[in-house]
Amino acid sequence: MDHHRQLRCGFPEVIYCPGKTTEQIIKIFSTLAEKGNNILATRAEEAVYKTLVKTKKFPKVRYEKSAKAIVLEQKKIKPSKSVIPIVTAGTADLPVAAEAKVTAEIMGQRTELICDVGVAGLHRLLGHLPKLQKANVIIVIAGMEGALASVVGGLVSCPVIAVPTSIGTGASFGGIAALLTMLNSCAAGVTVVNIDNGFSAGVAATLINKRIEQK
């Protein structure tokens, strides 16, 4: 099934929109919706959402503008007991954080955004430390040099899913600098996804949190 990614039982159908025409996305979306599943369309332009609305087939569909995601919830999902913190270094990282957030939430996870706590203002992170240390898994999103993932990883005893972003100037090389920093982290328990890949971070964190809560 090359046109979308079908995740595990209880998870939504996921459509990756770049590279597809609006007509193709609408067709795939309609086919999946007929099965009664929840649907997440990632990296979707608002024009695609507006076209979906015009079909009048999906009254519950919504557009998460900051995440560039189209969401259709047709099945109720029991919310997680614990909260997944999504930590960003700067405000510019919020679009990636939003993608991670909407992905985790369509899979039934409760989340909390903790924004603008990068190493340039590290004192702001310390105020959130108690809730971070209670978490089962944390998503950390940072551009520039990407040091925030190592800082958080050194302060907590749970897995950290690190997301490098393409935010930064010159020598950040479109997120490669942050990616390499995170891959070379000396903080045990830091795992890295691809640049700007909030979706994969949301999925990974969900899988970890679900498994822990099943025990």
Say what percent of the chain tops pLDDT 70: 95
Q: Which two tokens stand for residue 14?
A: 């996921």
Model pLDDT, residue 50: 92
Contact 168, 175 (CB under 8 A): yes
Question: What CA–CA distance (Å, rounded) separates 43 from 65?
Answer: 10
Q: What is the pTM of this model?
A: 0.88
Res. 56 pLDDT band, cuts 50 70 90: confident
Contact 118, 112 (CB under 8 A): no
Q: Where are the beta strands (DSSP E) in the chain?
A: 5-6, 13-16, 39-42, 62-64, 69-72, 83-88, 110-114, 138-142, 160-164, 190-192
Model pLDDT, residue 123: 84
Question: For residue range 75-101, what is the model confidence (pLDDT) as tens digits?
Answer: 888 889 999 999 998 889 999 999 999
Q: Average model confidence (pLDDT) for the chain?
A: 89
Q: Position 86: which residue type? A: I
Model pLDDT, residue 57: 86
